[in-house]
Structure 1
């Protein structure tokens, strides 16, 4: 888990904004503000060079980090003969089309297209602090863009945009605090990424390889040879389930409150996520839920858009959306294992092989019942489910840490960048990663 980071480590929460704070327009902070351009497509002399050609999607992929790479590269000739422009390290990039007011700082020389402004030559201020101040004012910039016909940010709007500017030593301290939290967020996200990769590898090794087996049988499923442990059996979904409840078709009429209504988006990693819920009235529920009532321990499976997400149902009353099927496994299955099995990449391949539809692929109730699945001994099912669940628990704990750090950063930005909380009387060592920007 990431190191704990707290606002009280850095600031005096009783302080108020100092009179030395001023508001500056970005055109006053930076002596130079220019947009890039796109070299003409199809001209070989312009593309394939060694200068990264940064577009919005490149900036978004490297969000929170310095920009130094891109999907496309241009040549020196493109810089000399077209409207594209190169920006050196330390330049602040700001998106003005599409995804508005996203920022990044150039780490090594790049070129940009016309959707990105480059802001550089800030003689008096710390560019990293300015970047955080712009990020904090992003909603205001977005509202200014809506005052134009095309909902873009023109260079004129950006140059006139005002941000709060404290004395330079305070800027560096504020930037250090926020940079420290950003680094903690990045580390926590890296842990989650590693755990996600471990989880996927664990999933694929346990289903259908099992736990500590040495002997395997070849089983033919939909034209492919699959190896499963010799102690495992195989069956079909139809034979495995004591009941299958299908509510696919159309959705019921929703209401502002009432009984929760589950949709595809409420299934995530074998769990029901009670966020972004729709609701139905009690009357609608009684009219709608006539094909069978789901029970605690049933598996909820999405049959399209996306296909193959599965979760164990908790003990609660809810209605079901289209594209969802309830599977009630028989006594030969552990409920948790069955849900993990039905959502596994191994079984997903069978869904895809049996799916129909041209625009959106989905699996019908009939084809779903014909899907072949392995049946490990009960004790091994429980062990597999436990291993997967324990890994998911660790992922969830670390995701909560990422969320905590992001909430902390939002609070710090609001307090520090408004001057409500100051670092003036706090000793903060400014690292070179911050000091290099002014």
Structure 2
């Protein structure tokens, strides 16, 4: 994009655009589009190549043959990530083909960055007369509609015949390239932010390993523990020895509407995947609180998922809240800083989860949590370790906020540019070679 055109040029739109009547047309499923755009079936503008899985005997993990992709499980931000190759492919996609998931979930998209073998879960769309990146973004904008095309009782899928009937709005090739350029620039910003978040995650993992084995200050003497070598001065205590409360929450009767949608935040285990709990999806009333086993936990309480899909996950409560019965609230004494215990339990999460039991689902009892061994440095060293780890978490949080901002911008731009509500025709946008090579 040139200096003459910025992303701001495409975000300053009125809430209710009023296009001239002769500049738009109504089309079922697409809404209003400019009159100088055409409508083409996907069959007319792209070759549709359904995948076909080769015999498993032709698979390998040694990089022999072509990369083999079977579905959206291999999809990355733009390009799929290969971990399997095929020596005798039945169906091939070419570099720059749009790859679409055609079996549940339907409509996920990637772009082939090289020739590859595609299995039954994918179709390759090879543009004939339009820019491939424009097609990629157009299909991404209409993904919910693609999902509605899917049929099947065991699992949902779409056929080549379904895709052939899909209508695509087609502006001039010049405008296609400009639209793709704007959206691709935002996507690159999102991808770079994701890479930064991933890198920070690796840094944090390394810091966990160092700080919980070597400590923050320089230690000269070490001893063995169940978690490996630790500083000689550190103690190993049961959680029950450094906590004032270890207690599960409670769930008010779900058949009583008067118990819910009140003013008391109520945490569910599915919300423990976030770093800190600052808000909750549901709340309960004072009546629901009084007439159930729910308990009110104060900020600084560590929450541990005791059973279910999130067993062993840990979050730190930043607000006063209640929890459901699958959450265990842990309140520390003065010997243990809440944030230090929070970071340590995340570091030791595999050890904690390994103690779970149950044939139907994993679960961690209150008794297991009480007896769980934790490392206890001096409070001063705990504070130092927390400062280091929190600084990384703050950077991760900032980048996650930036990513969400870019994602919101992208959604708005896709709605405006792909519908023709905002035009690029009179804007000076430099189309880079990486966009032009897609058509």
Structure-2-length-normalised TM-score: 0.84
- Contact 2:48/2:160 (<8 A) preserved: yes
More moved, 134-143 vs 161-170 = 134-143
Structure 1 SS opposite 2:409: helix
Structure 2 equivalent of residue 74 of structure 1: 86
Cα distance, 1:157 vs structure 2 = 1.8
* Count of residue pairs brought into register by the alignment: 412
Structure 1 SS opposite 2:329: strand
Distance in 1, matches of 2:218 and 2:273, equals: 29
Structure 2 unaligned residues grouped into runs of 5+: 24-33
Distance in 1, matches of 2:300 and 2:12, equals: 51
Structure 2 equivalent of residue 218 of structure 1: 223
Distance 1:299 1:105, change over 3 A: closer
Distance 1:43 1:55, change over 3 A: closer
Q: Are positions 1:340 and 2:352 aligned together?
A: no
Q: Which has the higher contact order (CA 8 A, sep 6+)?
A: 1
Distance in 1, matches of 2:208 and 2:245, equals: 26
Cα distance, 1:49 vs structure 2 = 4.4
Cα distance, 1:146 vs structure 2 = 4.8
Distance in 1, matches of 2:213 and 2:63, equals: 45
Cα distance, 1:63 vs structure 2 = 3.9
Structure 2 equivalent of residue 144 of structure 1: 149
Cα distance, 1:44 vs structure 2 = 8.2
Structure 2 equivalent of residue 97 of structure 1: 103
Structure 1 equivalent of residue 8 of structure 2: 8
Structure 1 equivalent of residue 207 of structure 2: 202
Matches within 5 A, 1:28-427: 28-30=44-46, 32-42=47-57, 49-57=64-72, 59-60=74-75, 62-65=76-79, 67=80, 70-75=82-87, 78-79=88-89, 84-122=90-128, 124-146=129-151, 151-220=156-225, 224=226, 226-247=228-249, 251-254=251-254, 255=257, 257-258=261-262, 259-268=264-273, 270-275=275-280, 277-289=281-293, 293-305=296-308, 306-316=310-320, 318-341=321-344, 343-346=345-348, 348=349, 350-352=351-353, 354-427=355-428
Superposed CA deviations along residues 79-135 of structure 1, whole A, max 9, x for unmatched, are: 5xxxx222322322222221212222322211212332222251x311111111111
Distance in 2, matches of 1:313 and 1:148, equals: 42
- Contact 2:48/2:124 (<8 A) preserved: yes
Distance in 1, matches of 2:63 and 2:377, equals: 54
Out of 30, 37, 43, which is 1:27 matched to? 43
Distance in 2, matches of 1:361 and 1:59, equals: 28
- Contact 1:63/1:103 (<8 A) preserved: no
Distance in 2, matches of 1:51 and 1:265, equals: 39
- Contact 2:194/2:403 (<8 A) preserved: yes
More moved, 376-385 vs 409-418 = 376-385
- Contact 1:213/1:229 (<8 A) preserved: no
Distance in 1, matches of 2:54 and 2:93, equals: 16
Cα distance, 1:401 vs structure 2 = 0.6
Distance 1:13 1:211, change over 3 A: same
Cα distance, 1:272 vs structure 2 = 1.2
Superposed CA deviations along residues 314-347 of structure 1, whole A, max 9, x for unmatched, are: 342x332122222221122223223323x2323x
Distance 1:228 1:187, change over 3 A: same
Cα distance, 1:435 vs structure 2 = 0.3
- Contact 1:11/1:423 (<8 A) preserved: no
Distance 1:50 1:261, change over 3 A: same
Distance in 2, matches of 1:353 and 1:49, equals: 37
Cα distance, 1:265 vs structure 2 = 2.2
More moved, 304-313 vs 230-239 = 304-313
Cα distance, 1:194 vs structure 2 = 0.5
- Contact 1:311/1:340 (<8 A) preserved: no
Cα distance, 1:42 vs structure 2 = 4.1
